Amino acid sequence: MIKTLKILKNKSLLMFMSALIIMTAAQKNVMSQDIAVLLGDEAAISGYVKDERTGETLIGATVVLKDSKKGAYTNKLGYYSISPIIAGEYTIRVTSVGYTPYEEKITLTKGIRERKDIVLKGLNITTEEISVVADRDVEARQISISKVNIPIQQIKEIRIGGESDVFRTIQMLPGVLTSSQMSSGLYIRGGSPDQNLVLLDGSTVYNPSHLFGFISTFNSDAIKDVELIKGGYPAEYGSRLSSVLNITQKDGNRNEFEGMLSAGIISSKLALEGPLGNGSWFVSGRRTYFDLIKGLIDTDPENPIPDFGFYDLNAKVTQDFGDDDKVFLSGFLSDDNFDFDASGVTMNLFMGNKAGSMRWTRILADNLFMVNNLTSSYYSQGFRQEASGFIVSMNNSITDYSFKTKLEWFVSDNLTAVTGIDVTNYIFKYTRNFSGDDSEIEEGTNDGSIMNMLYHDWVYSAFAQINYKITELFSLQTGLRWNFWDYSEHSLFDPRIALRYQISDKYAVKASWGIFHQYLRLAGDENFSIFDTWVPTDKTVDPSKAYHYILSFETEPIPDYNLNVDFYYKDLENISEVNKTTLEGTDVKDIFFSGVGYSYGGEIFLQKQFGKLAGWIGYGLGWVYAKFDSINNGEEFRPKYDRRHDLKIVAQYQINEKWNVGATFMYQSGQSYTGATSRFQTGMPGDNHGWGKVIPSQRYGLRMPNSHQLNLNASYITSLFKLPFKINFDIYNVYNRRDILMRIYDTEGDETIVEDIKLLPIIPTFSFELKF
């Protein structure tokens, strides 16, 4: 009865907030009239900023009224609002990375809100070197802590093995680590990959990787914007401990049909887009063809080549309904399969993602913006193996259906407010059959070798945050997020606060603190993401919790070069490590060990976003430690992904209109690993030899040799059949230094042999792109 009352109370709160937002939308005309009256002798201006060629809205463009200290950034939908403003004549200036600055004289009338959409022309960097500098007064209201935006033009030019990849580019940032050079997982400031919230058009993606983690599932040709917040993120985001990666898909060309076909040694891609009604459409697909080529190769039946393939598909439709309403429908699909058949053994490994969203945005008033998002996401993975008629299989999946709504209120030039609610329904399914047959298992079974478990849960969240410019030099961002988890009956609050002080025109200092909770836990393997299994928090354990402390300095030492220095400290509570000794269990405490941890360090990041020479240099120095009562004799240890030093260099240079060259270099401390101290023999009575077993040393107490790698790339633009044609040349691992994936101990003989499993050697590749 008490639980029912709690749920009804929390649902009532959310229903009230939803009704309030709906009533606000219904009162649009009244609100517009009232606000116009409130303006009195003042005026206001708002609108969208768009790309001239495609008609796509631009995210993060800077809109300022020169000599007035009034301005704003465009939001994730390309919308800006500046108010209140003293009526009169102004020069409006709009800038965005990769575009020619726009200026126009305008007249603003008292009591009137001016609606002005602005179109920017793409910049030809081979002939123009125009400085794009964000307005300091606009930055003061945003207070972006540990946030990195990488222009999609740069991401497309940073290729590994012939493939441009979002995650591989992000891994070249300081403070972002990997478990190996083969992994696309993101270990950010001491957090594991499951502690990162990955959003694609508002939908959560639970395992964004292909090829056993070598590349991500995100096709860079389908991406419009990539935003990474490495810590201290605002109250708008929740449910993860470490970071937020927010990816926006392309809307499509509103003005004309166009397409692109590309092919390389790993995959081929096709992207198509064009106008549709009062909007646009976009679709792209990517597929490997190793499984197709394999059919043309004669193989030895005794040593066959496995079948492997993956594909992904992105699609989006955008429509305008009048000047104030936009609807976006987007979808994402990925699938990986690995098949092996030899010596009477057949095996299949698979994993896949499905995500979709319907987003409706509405301008309620010129300074009030509403976003509604209905999303679904599904991730599944598993394997099936058969040997001599004995079958074993395992499948797990997570499904979420979410509704999110938020209001962005541009109250004044000094104050903005954002509030919203999130409701998510989770479905977790896990089946395991190690009995030897392939018979169906009854739901609810948990009998050691066979299991079929199904869990449902509801999660409710509400948040509110404000950005307030207190003085010309000092600004504040503060927010509060509330979460309620139905299955575990936890109700928790996450306060967040960030401060910014402008020391001088070129120097600013920022600081943030916040509490972050995480409901989901991940059971998986650090080397291969294909074994990931998501588990909810139940009543036997508390949700994971993190405290973030960040101090940041930013400056522009020379024009067009931005320098950021961050210091961070993170406290972690109720974090998880898989209990690999358990054979069965129905509670989370049976599957995971629960412990504590902390991480701290500093990062230096020098970036040039645009120009003939673009790229960055980053260095990170960090420490990560964890402690579990049941691991490493209860003593503190560093995780496998702890790497003390982390140097990254990325450079792209446009030689002329035809040639572009680039390089990436990485140098890191070696990853941690668990060594061996001694060996003993085990066996049954009467055995002459038995089996050798090693006694492990301190958990992850040793380090592999330092890791470093250089990659080179070049591209040449020409024409084919009078169509733009681009040829890409890439060299992966230029000086052929093979990093170590793992170190194992061979105990089959009398003498223990230490063996290193090494990663890929030098690989030259080429690919091409044809636009039409």
> How far is 525 from 623, CA to CA, in rounded Å?
22
SS (H, E, C) 753-766: EEEEEECCCCEEEE
What is the per-residue pLDDT for 752? 83
**28: number of CA atoms within 13 Å, CB side?**
14
Instruction: For the beta carbon of residue 301, count every other beta carbon within 10 angstroms.
Output: 8
Confidence of residue 212 (pLDDT cuts 50, 70, 90): low
659 touches 715 (CB < 8 A): yes
Q: When comparing pLDDT for 590 and 213, which is higher?
A: 590
Threshold 0.85, pTM exceeds: yes
731 class by beta-carbon count within 10 Å (0-12 exposed, 13-18 middle, 19+ buried): middle
What is the per-residue pLDDT for 314? 95
Confidence of residue 319 (pLDDT cuts 50, 70, 90): very high
What is the per-residue pLDDT for 25? 44
- Across 415-438, b (16+ Cβ under 10 Å) vs e yields ebbbbbbbbbebebebbbbebeee
Running DSSP on this structure, what letter comes out for residue 306?
P
Query: 349-386: per-residue pLDDT in tens?
Result: 888 999 999 999 999 988 899 999 999 999 998 888 88
Instruction: For the beta carbon of residue 357, count every other beta carbon within 10 angstroms.
Output: 23
Task: Please list, in sequence order, all residues whose beta carbon lies within 8 angstroms of the beta carbon of residue 327, skipping any fewer than 6 positions away.
Answer: 318, 319, 321, 358, 359, 360, 361
Confidence of residue 759 (pLDDT cuts 50, 70, 90): confident
Q: What percent of the chain has pLDDT over 70?
A: 87
Query: 729-750: per-residue pLDDT in tens?
Result: 999 999 999 888 888 888 877 7
All structural domains of the chain, each given as residue ranges with its CATH number in brackets, are 2-142 (2.60.40.1120), 147-245 (2.170.130.10), 246-771 (2.40.170.20)
Where are the alpha helices (H) located in 527-604, listed in sequence order? 588-591
pLDDT over threshold 80, residue 508: yes
What is the per-residue pLDDT for 477? 94
Report for 48-62, 169-183, 573-587: range of highest mean pLDDT = 48-62
What is the per-residue pLDDT for 16? 42
What is the per-residue pLDDT for 372? 96
- Across 597-615, b (16+ Cβ under 10 Å) vs e yields bbbbbebbbbbbbbbeebb
Cα–chain center distance at 173: 13
Per-residue pLDDT averaged across 484-513, rounded? 92
Tokens of 132: 């794009």
The angle formed by the CA atoms of residues 538, 421 and 15, to the nearest 5 degrees, is 95
> How far is 547 from 492, CA to CA, in rounded Å?
14
Confidence of residue 480 (pLDDT cuts 50, 70, 90): very high
Per-residue pLDDT averaged across 308-326, rounded? 92
What is the per-residue pLDDT for 495? 97
Per-residue pLDDT averaged across 79-92, rounded? 89
What is the per-residue pLDDT for 543? 92
pLDDT over threshold 50, residue 49: yes
592 touches 541 (CB < 8 A): yes
Confidence of residue 243 (pLDDT cuts 50, 70, 90): very high
pLDDT over threshold 60, residue 132: no
Per-residue pLDDT averaged across 616-625, rounded? 95
Confidence of residue 259 (pLDDT cuts 50, 70, 90): very high
Task: Please list, in sequence order, all residues whose beta carbon lies within 8 angstroms of the beta carbon of residue 163, skipping any fewer than 6 positions away.
Answer: 215, 264, 266, 267, 767
Query: 103-120: per-residue pLDDT in tens?
Result: 999 998 888 888 999 999
Distances (CA, A) of 711 to 150, 184, 388, 740: 19, 16, 46, 17
Confidence of residue 340 (pLDDT cuts 50, 70, 90): confident
> How far is 314 from 358, CA to CA, in rounded Å?
14
> How far is 185 from 178, CA to CA, in rounded Å?
6
